[in-house]
Amino acid sequence: MKVVIIGATKGIGRSVARILAERGDSLFVLGRNGDELARTKQDLEARRSSLSVGAAHCDLLDVSTIGPALDEADRALGGFDTVVVTAGLFGTQEEIENDADLRDRVLQANFVGTIQFCEAAKALLLSRGGGRLCVLSSVAGEKARKPVVIYGATKAGLTAYLNGLDARHYADGLRVVVVKPGFVRTTMTANLPEPPFAGDVEPVARDIVKAIDRESSEIYTPWIWRWVMTAVRMLPRGFMRKAKF
């Protein structure tokens, strides 16, 4: 595969990139921190001697960077066929409620910026008959809950967009892979209370790569979250008013 990844400098995205590098896929990584990008490029190239990894600045908070970054990746890879979106921002509900700047950045990065990125990537993929677009959403978008009101709303909106994209362009050759991680142990979640069924980065990354290879429409990872959220979605609003999770 010829893969573009935004969000490969840390966490799940970095692990996905490492798996792809080790098996020999062509890679181009995008991110907003130049130093982290350089370290990521070096790390990935060290995993396979014949691998040359491209890198470019791209910031979901600045949509003007999206088009040029994807064009550069497209030229470097000779036409990418797979795009993986793992970038995003998180904040607890209390943090987002009390910080207007953080609230704006979470909304922009997780919803507006991600959709603008997907639209630009989609156009390039469809121009040559399609390809794979894999995007991390979240189980937080499955049910409105007190701890993730705004963050969950961004993920609910993103999932709706991705499902619509799949319906609109499946016949055109676009394969949309929606990834819904449950709680995953990363630096982003290090200070949060850990719920049951928490997952680790490496197994989650392997699930994502497997889903891309299979062109799965939707996955929950760890897998048990599919059944957890099936139950949670059935809970009535009255119950959710009293629930603490």
**Of the candidates 137, 112, 149, 124, the residue with the CA atom closest to the CA atom of residue 70:** 124
Cis bond before residue 195 (omega within 30° of 0): no
Q: Between residues 236 and 188, which one has the greater pLDDT?
A: 236
Give the per-residue pLDDT at 155.
Answer: 98
Average pLDDT of span 185-195: 78
**pLDDT, tens only, 131-172:** 999 999 999 999 988 889 999 999 999 999 999 999 999 999
Share of the chain above pLDDT 70, in %: 100
Structure tokens at 66: 């999206």
Give the per-residue pLDDT at 8.
Answer: 92
- Residue showing tokens 């060290």: 46
SS (H, E, C) 10-40: CHHHHHHHHHHHHHCCEEEEEECCHHHHHHH
Write down the pTM of the prediction.
0.93
Give the per-residue pLDDT at 128.
Answer: 94
Give the per-residue pLDDT at 187.
Answer: 76
**pLDDT, tens only, 30-71:** 999 999 999 999 999 998 878 889 999 999 999 999 999 999
* Burial class of 163 by CB neighbour count within 10 A (0 to 12, 13 to 18, 19+): middle
Give the per-residue pLDDT at 140.
Answer: 93
What is the signed CA dihedral for 6, 8, 12, 16, rounded to 10 degrees?
100
Give the per-residue pLDDT at 189.
Answer: 78
Give the per-residue pLDDT at 208.
Answer: 98
The CA–CA distances, whole Å, from 32 to 58, 140, 147, 151, 178 equal 5, 25, 28, 21, 23
Share of the chain above pLDDT 90, in %: 82
Average pLDDT of span 126-132: 97
Q: Which fold has domain 2-242?
A: Rossmann fold (3.40.50)
Give the per-residue pLDDT at 240.
Answer: 83
Phi, psi of 153 (to 5 degrees): -65, -40
Q: How far apart are CA 28 and CA 123, in angstroms?
A: 18
Give the per-residue pLDDT at 210.
Answer: 98
Give the per-residue pLDDT at 241.
Answer: 87
Q: How far apart are CA 206 and CA 148, in angstroms?
A: 26
Residues whose CB falls within 8 Å of the CB of residue 2, separated by 6 or more in sequence, listed in order? 25, 26, 77, 78, 79, 80, 81, 82
